[in-house]
Structure 1
Amino acid sequence: MSEQPPLVLVVEDEPDLADLYAAWLGDEYRVRTAYGGQEALDEIDEADDEVDAILLDRRMPGLSGDEVLTAVRERGIDCRVAMVTAVEPDFDILNMGFDDYLVKPVTSDTLHETVEGLLRRGEYDTEMQELFSLTSKKAMLETEKSATELTDNEEYQRLTDRIEELRSRADESLEAVTETDDDFEKLFQEFDTDDAGAED
């Protein structure tokens, strides 16, 4: 008997949009939907640590996406989280524990690519996951902020330093791998893509 497909939780307070995302992803994944923050936490509890990825809206009545994300991380739930939101990213994202950030509207292809990326990241160790997350934040901020704003922000500078530190460790680990590893190639291709997009 084959293993079950990964479980994706879609958290979105607009039911039509949540159902659309679920329909897009339903051919490849098990999908559950939650139309609010508290409902999302209830679904996570009910799933009993089986949730592999969460697509999380930020701005919701009641319990916000930011609060849901904090609760997920405080509970130590081992899953990857992408914010899918109309809220433009600001420097506050540097202190948030998500893995990826999408600004609405999003396409079916983008949603599939994001979930695929989240699940692949879940296979790496903690430092690699941190490197993915920080690189995503850096790319988003470089898209939204001017060079002056970035240069003047101390948290952004610390982010850049941490990325360099983690990349250096990753390079050392890569040198220790004697055979070609497709996963490592994909990993560094993602970093290159993020950086290239940030420079455009």
Structure 2
Amino acid sequence: MTADSETATVLVVDDERDVAELYATWLGMRHDVRSANSGESALEAVDESVDVVFLDRQMPGVSGDDVLDGIRERDLDCRIVMVTAVDPGFDIVEMPFDDYLTKPVTRADLYETVEEMLVRDAYDEQIQRYFAMASKKATLEAEKNAAELDAHDEYHEVTQRVESLKRTADQTIGEIQDFEAAFGEFSGS
């Protein structure tokens, strides 16, 4: 990943060519961009040089969900952002993506999301999992009413997982700060 620089390699995947071209044009002003218009071509285009994937969830043939699974099975180190016009269901809790955007998506949404994904990549795996799960929780809260959330065990599960991952992340940050403080004392700083 290119966390130290502002330029990322981004893959835009959407079966609607106009949408993919628009996103690619916007992102191309700041980043190196590839695009794909099917799940099959997405799996061909993604490799270890890709930092962020914007992935349409609803595609004919090989769906975005299938592409997501394919990328994770290949153990590629990229952040994946699902982008869809379909309101998210509670199934997103178990999906291995990093963030979820509901269409319509603006240029600012894309820019901010790439920046956020690059920042997240600088963190260790535990903190990345916390951010991904917190994103899923926030997505559900934005798209569902309180009664729907309360009625689904998946929402309660994601809430518990966010709390658990936050405790772990806080502990990890504390350990890093303790290490930095000890190192500073050792080096005479």
TM range (shorter): 0.7 to 0.9
In the alignment of these two chains, the number of paired residues is 175
TM-score using structure 1 length: 0.82
Query: Which among 31, 40, 45 is matched to residue 43 of structure 1?
Result: 45
**What is the aligned partner in structure 1 of residue 11 from structure 2?**
9
The range that moved more, 29-38 or 162-171, is: 162-171
Matched-pair identity in %: 52
**Distance between the aligned counterparts of 2:148 and 2:7, measured in 1?**
43
Match of 1:165 in 2: 164
Letter in 2 for 1:30: D
C-alpha RMSD of matched pairs (Å) = 1.8
Counterpart CA distance in 1 for 2:55 and 2:90 is: 19
Q: Find the counterpart in structure 2 of residue 19 from structure 1.
A: 21
User: Any residues of structure 2 matched to 1:47-66 within 5 Å, and which?
Assistant: 48-66=47-65
Match of residue 35, structure 2, among 9, 33, 39: 33
2:184 aligned partner: none
TM-score normalised to the size of structure 2? Answer: 0.87
| Deviation sequence 1:84-124 (CA, Å, 0-9, x none) | 11011110111111111111111101110011111111111
**With CA pairs under 8 Å and 6+ residues apart, which has the higher RCO, 1 or 2?**
2
SS of the aligned residue for 2:51 comes to strand
1:1-200 aligned within 5 A: 5-44=7-46, 48-176=47-175, 177=177
Shift of 1:4: 9.3
Gaps of 5+ in 1: 180-200
Cα distance between partner residues in 2 of 1:101 and 1:140: 7
Gaps of 5+ in 2: 181-189
